[in-house]
Amino acid sequence: MSSQALARISAAQLARDPRIKQLTFTGSVSTGINVAQMAAPNVTRLTLELGGKSPLIAFGDADPEKVADGAYWAIFSNSGQICSAGSRLIMHRAIRDDVLAILGERAKSIRTAHGLTAPDMGAINSELHLSRIKAHVEAAKGRGAHLLTGGDVTVDADTGKGWFFQPTVIADLEPDDPAVQEEIFGPVLSVQNFDTEDEAIQLANGTEFGLIASVYTQDVGRAMRVASAMDCGQVSINDYWAGGLELPFGGNKKSGYGREKGWEGLDAYTKVKSITISNAS
């Protein structure tokens, strides 16, 4: 099929077309499910990179400054509109206050403005999505959630216009709270607390998603135990945005299946064939 012909057909047509042998989709869980259903009658192979609710776990021996810095970039980069954004901060109670004090001050100082003015944080991608983020946060307020900072729609600092949402940190949430369980896809960080290593792992694995995660600790043995126990596709230690094109990227559970990047990403576009030859005459 020529590139011109491909350009004239819709994504839905691609998903249903029996001539397509491999599809890779990045987007929401609901759309990914639709793509899989469209492709199923032709048994078309799929790589699905879907939603996330990725955790940053910080143990009591972690450096609060480093944890706060990691959480800041994990959730406020691109206004939180990244599938692998670190939208959950899971902290040992011993460092909770120190981390939140640092993170709260940094979040309050963020300047929102037009992307071409080099702001600290840019706009939400549409007015509709801005309303969805606001609805999530308003619902959390209605449940009595403790907002450390932010929590409302804002505007470009220079023009007074635009689709912006304040950098928001919601503290001390229970595991079943919708702000923990649902992907908000905006600059909204959900904070959870723990006392033991097992509890931290349980909280990290306690959503339908499993894209990426990070672990902050000075104990290498603990870091490797926790990283191995988390049901997700990628884990970084004492950093959040780690790894480049050479590392496979993708999720488990409702974050999708298959991998992009690395050699594993290329494997999706190949087929293995076994050929045997008898040496009998």
pLDDT tens for the chain, 281 residues long, are 555 555 456 888 989 999 999 999 999 999 999 999 999 999 999 999 999 999 999 999 999 999 999 999 999 999 999 999 999 999 999 999 999 999 999 999 999 999 999 999 999 999 999 999 999 999 999 999 999 999 999 999 889 999 999 999 999 999 999 999 999 999 999 999 999 999 999 999 999 999 999 999 999 999 999 999 999 999 999 999 877 889 999 999 999 999 999 999 999 999 999 999 998 76
Q: For domain 55-245, give the CATH superfamily.
A: Aldehyde Dehydrogenase; Chain A, domain 2 (3.40.309.10)
What's the CA gap between 239 and 224, in Å, rounded?
A: 14
pLDDT for the residue 205:
98
The amino acid present at 2, given as its one-letter code, is S
Q: What angle do CA 36, 129, 6 make, to 5 degrees?
A: 40
What's the CA gap between 180 and 145, in Å, rounded?
A: 12
List the catalytic residues: 49, 83
- Could you tell me if 76 and 68 are in contact, meaning their C-beta atoms sit under 8 angstroms apart? no
pLDDT for the residue 12:
86
Query: Is beta strand 188-194 parallel, antiparallel or unpaired with respect to 234-237?
Result: unpaired
SS3 for 221?
helix
Q: Which sign does the torsion angle of CA 66, 255, 16, 261 carry?
A: positive
pLDDT for the residue 260:
93
pLDDT for the residue 279:
86
pLDDT for the residue 10:
80
Q: What angle do CA 174, 178, 180 make, to 5 degrees?
A: 60
For the chain, give every domain's residue range: 3-49, 55-245
- Could you tell me if 136 and 184 are in contact, meaning their C-beta atoms sit under 8 angstroms apart? yes
Query: Is beta strand 168-171 parallel, antiparallel or unpaired with respect to 88-92?
Result: unpaired
Q: Please provide the DSSP assignment of 68-124 as one string.
A: HHHHHHHHHGGGG-STT---EEEEEHHHHHHHHHHHHHHHHTPPB--GGG--SB---
What's the CA gap between 96 and 26, in Å, rounded?
A: 34
- Token pair for residue 211? 């894209």
pLDDT for the residue 226:
98
Mutual orientation of helices 220-229 and 197-204 as an angle, nearest 10°?
Answer: 40
CA–centroid distance for 39 within its chain = 25
